[in-house]
Amino acid sequence: SPMAHNPSLEELEATCTAFAQRPMSRCASASWASSPFARTCPLRARSTPGKIRPATAVADLATEEEHKEVDTLEGVVPGPADIEEEQERLSGRSWEVSSILRPPLASAADLESVESQLQEALTFLTETLPALAAEIGEQVSGLVFQALLARSSRPLPGHSGRERCSSERLDGVDSDQVSRLVVGAEQLVALLRVKIEDDGDLALARTVLEDSIRFFWDLDQCAKWRDISPWELFEEVND
């Protein structure tokens, strides 16, 4: 089973490279009006409660009029050929996502939990961490991230912490806020099999988070078209 496979460092590096070159959903391109991506909404815009709608290059090109039209046609289901091709694409991506994420994906509850963790991690990475850097006058988020990890007392899987930004820089920040931010940094490290030490690593982590969110979004949408649960479809494509 792909989920039981312990990927080598070379396999993980190849997976990270693949994330940066992820093709768009076949269903999204073939059935534009029904696609969840055919909207002009930024990455952090909310499409449904608790979910961040992932951005795509195509979505960025849409107009407000197209946005309105899509709202009325989102229930349209693509043809069988498009759905079958989408399943094949999801099958290839499922191993990559399973390999790059540390939490297990062994049940429907696991899928829901990981989706929630991905959303929270992306918000931390794109909003919370930059806001903290600005608050303490630090231009490089990676240094602030290292300072947060230096405050952690928990063992961090696959991470060799280096305090490249003095923890004293965080002394002026409310202690409760720092504690919450440390938890956010710990959760990000515990979520991804990606070394995170500098801004370049944070950029890669963001790419992986966005693509993983997009994968689960595609999985949910394709499951609706098949009239099965996301977990049932995941078991099929990850077999």
Question: DSSP letter string over 102-138?
Answer: -S---SHHHHHHHHHHHHHHHHIIIIIHHHHHHHTT-
pLDDT grade, residue 162 (50/70/90)? low
What does the pLDDT look like over 111-132, one tens digit per residue?
999 999 999 999 999 999 999 9
Q: Please give the Cα distance from 197 to 160 (Å, whole number).
A: 9
Distance CA 41, CA 56 (A): 10
The two three-digit tokens of residue 207, written as one number? 């790419």
- Structural tokens at position 16: 């990270």
- The 3-class SS string of 44-76 reads CCEEECCEECCCCHHHHHCCHHHHHHHHHHCCC
Q: Which of 3-7, 158-162, 187-191 has the highest mean pLDDT?
A: 187-191
The model's pLDDT over 2-52, given as tens digits with 9 standing for 90+, comes to 444 554 555 555 555 555 455 555 444 443 344 443 332 333 333 333 444
Poorest-confidence range of 49-53, 106-110, 141-145, 158-162? 49-53
The residue ranking higher by pLDDT, 30 or 110, is 110
Structural domain total, the chain: 1
Tens digits of residue pLDDT in 49-98: 344 444 433 333 333 444 433 333 456 788 999 999 999 999 999 999 99
Residue 162: domain span:
2-237
Contacts of the segment 61-67: beta carbons below 8 A, 24+ positions apart: 62/38, 64/40, 66/38, 66/40, 67/39, 67/40, 67/41
pLDDT tens digits along 39-63? 323 333 333 334 444 443 333 333 3
Q: How far is 191 from 212, CA to CA, in rounded Å?
A: 11
In contact, 141 and 202? CB cutoff 8 Å: yes
pTM recorded for the entire structure: 0.70
